Structure 1
Amino acid sequence: MTTPPRSSRNHKESDVLDAGELLFQTQGYESTKIEAIAVEASVASATVYNYFETKNNILLSIILRHLEAALPERRRFMRALPDDPVAGIIAFENMLAEQALRFLDRDSWKVILTAKLLDDQSAAYRTACRLDTLIYKQYIRILTRYRNMGRIGDDVDIALLASLLIDVGNAVLARIVGSAHTVAEGMKLWGDPSVRMVLRGLIVEPGKPV
């Protein structure tokens, strides 16, 4: 059997991911079958299995693809942080939640969140940890910037605060994907008050000594 050129393989893989993304959004992850993804991508079912083996692997590849696509938006945000740390962190959390559900449906995120809690040997668990690690590094940069601006005291453990904010974000995302609320509604109901509570007493007002 002749192996197809790499460019042809990449093109077909991209078509499969595009098809999977569309069907996950319109039909839901659980209702979407590999065969339907193959039809949408105009390839044989065997081709899909050859490239990805399982539907779960398609989902993880879609998440990683959009993780890369989301980075420029996050970097632009971090280059223009609001002066107020509370407003900045709430805006960042809102952006993360909006990005999470921009391309994937709630059922897809349930797969990731469930794996993170119940299956620490799965590829979905490793993907969730990879997402958290990236957000953690971004939070370290954001919090360090606010500390350098004199808005977060030197006695605050930046690493611990970043981890707490990630836990809040994951909890809010779990509530959003398990409810009928939109991202914006969910963040205002659960995310904004939670972030304000975590940051209470940690923010230095302008003009006050750190």
Structure 2
Amino acid sequence: MAGLRQRQKLDRDRRIVEAAARLFREFGYEGVKIETIAEQAQVSVGTIYNYYESKGDVLVAVVSLEVNEVIAAGEGVLAAPPADAAQGVNALFGIYLRHSLHYLNKEMWRAAMSMSTLHPQSPLGRHYSGLDESLCRQVCLLLAKLKARGSIGAWVDVNLAGRILFNTMNMMFIDFVKDDAAGMEAVVDAVGGQTALIVSLLAAREAPVVSGLVSGPRAGPWPVMPS
């Protein structure tokens, strides 16, 4: 019986999030009321508030759905990374970027980013930041595999280098989201070019003379990857 109740709860949650994603895409985040989401999801308004404190939390749940699917897809790259390190990182980033508009559109991303920036210490803001950290950790895990295989230098701090790569990609994604005219393949190509440049430095057998990738404070709250 407990298992049935849990499945019913998960089903209601999924219906809420998917209904919200459809409505936000069609009418814009500001143009959608909680009552409309409840009607589309075939639940009561009270049920939505049992799951989420606000409409903003529902939007971040849509972002979470997007990111969780992206991370799951990225596991395929980690399972069998390409021999070329830049190709491996760009395969991962290609998944991140191309899947980013599956449930959300640019207006929805802007709303989510705005709320997380305005209220960084709120549950919503911390959840949004946590999603970014999960993606960043996956990049670090990929670099750790590439390092173990010899595709990047043994001197590379994979946690710091992974954060640099992720932040570079993420800032270009933010610019893409801010520009309604920007096309997906253009940003994928632009990210690919910058990634290739950074990874070419990481692939050096010895550390460059000027480098922030060898030592310094560890980045991120996750455990340090093995060297």
- The TM-score by the shorter chain falls in which range? 0.7 to 0.9
Give SS of 2:100's match. helix
Task: Go from structure 1 to structure 2 and tell me whether the alpha carbon gap of 1:138 and 1:8 turns closer, same or farther (over 3 Å shift).
Answer: closer
Amino acid at match of 1:55: K
Provide the rounded CA distance (Å) in 2 between the counterparts of 1:62 and 1:82. Answer: 31
Q: Is the 8 A contact 2:165 2:198 kept in 1?
A: yes
Contact 2:19/2:37, CA 8 A, preserved across alignment? yes
Task: Give SS of 1:101's match.
Answer: coil
**RMSD value over aligned CA atoms?**
2.4
**Structure-2 residue corresponding to 1:150:** 150
User: Which residue identity is paired with 1:185?
Assistant: A
State the 1:60 CA deviation: 1.9
- Matched with 1:52 is 52
TM-score, scaled relative to structure 1: 0.83
Deviation at 1:56, TM superposition (A): 0.8
Contact 1:176–1:186 (8 Å) recurs in 2: yes
Q: Give the drift of 1:8.
A: 4.2
Higher normalized helix content (fraction of residues): 1
2:183 maps to 1:182: yes
Question: Is 1:25–1:105's contact at 8 Å kept on the other side of the alignment?
Answer: yes
Cα gap change, 1:7/1:75 in structure 2, threshold over 3 Å: closer, same or farther? closer
Matched with 2:73 is: 73
Displacement of 1:11 after TM fit?
3.2
- In structure 1, C-alpha distance between the alignment counterparts of 2:9 and 2:206, rounded to whole Å: 59
Of 58-67 and 91-100, the range deviating more from structure 2: 58-67
Question: Residue 35 of structure 1 aligns to which amino acid in structure 2?
Answer: E
Equivalent residue, structure 2, for 1:98: 98
Paired residue for 2:31?
Answer: 31
**1:195 paired residue number:** 195
Structure 1 window deviating more from structure 2 (80-89 vs 62-71): it is: 62-71
**Equivalent residue letter for 1:102:** H
Shift of 1:27: 2.3
CA distance in 2, matches of 1:123, 1:111: 16
Q: 2:169 maps to which residue?
A: 169
**Deviation of 1:199 (Å):** 2.5
Equivalent residue number for residue 131 of structure 2: 131
SS at match of 1:102: coil
Work out whether residues 136 and 166 of structure 1, in 8 Å CA contact, stay in contact via their aligned partners in 2. Answer: yes
Q: What runs of 5+ residues in structure 1 fail to find an aligned partner? A: none
Counterparts in 2 of 1:70 and 1:202: CA distance versus 1, 3 Å: closer
Extract unaligned runs of 5+ from structure 2. Answer: 208-227
**8 A contact 2:19–2:41 mirrored in 1:** yes
Are the structure 2 counterparts of residues 9 and 93 from structure 1 closer, same or farther at C-alpha, using a change threshold of 3 Å? Answer: closer
Distance 1:194 1:113, change over 3 A: farther
